[in-house]
Structure 1
Amino acid sequence: MAINNVNNGGVPNKPAVDNAKQNAQQAQNQAASQNVAKQAQAAQQAPRQDSVSLTQSAQQLNQVQKKAGDAPVNQEKVDKLKKAIQNGEYRVNPEALASKIAKLEAQIFGIKS
């Protein structure tokens, strides 16, 4: 007795399955899955290496802030000014303030006044 079309489920027009090709495809799929799993595991274990770079202006600003933090403070004068402001006794001379702002900007931007 001969058994025909075992691999194609008895469907007469369906071609027979090539077992070697099917096994090779399954092995390839398993290898690909293992490779993806290894890459995912390596990505989780590898530390992230982020970096930051500051512009020259930001570095200069950082240096100025450090110097300002180290500058001595006349606490007596600060307290006196706070009290005058709270009491409404502190007066600003607008002309003197404008002149000092203009001089500071000239120094910062290198403008001769």
Structure 2
Amino acid sequence: MAININNLQNPTQVKTDKVEQNAQRQQAAVQQNASQAANQKQDSVSITPQAQQFAKLTEKAGNSSGIDQEKVDKIKQAIAEGKYKINVEQLARRIVQFESELFGKK
């Protein structure tokens, strides 16, 4: 192991040199990080017009009750006036269709 006897008289100079070397390394690391950050692309998100339209329609559907109140009022009025006719054959056919779909029978 070699010993540098030239610096024995001035140990503060050795410490100063090491501090300067560390500062230079840190500065080089900061510059490298800044260079890498400048070269990196920023992430971005863009929404297609179809997605925007879908979002608007979804919001509109969420705000609606799903009931056609005008149609309900017309049926109520027809029942009250005795004008509402029920097609029993069609009703029976739809009940059978519903039950077959519900229970998996055809």
TM-score bucket (shorter structure): 0.3 to 0.5
TM-score norm. by structure 2 comes to: 0.39
More helix by share: 2
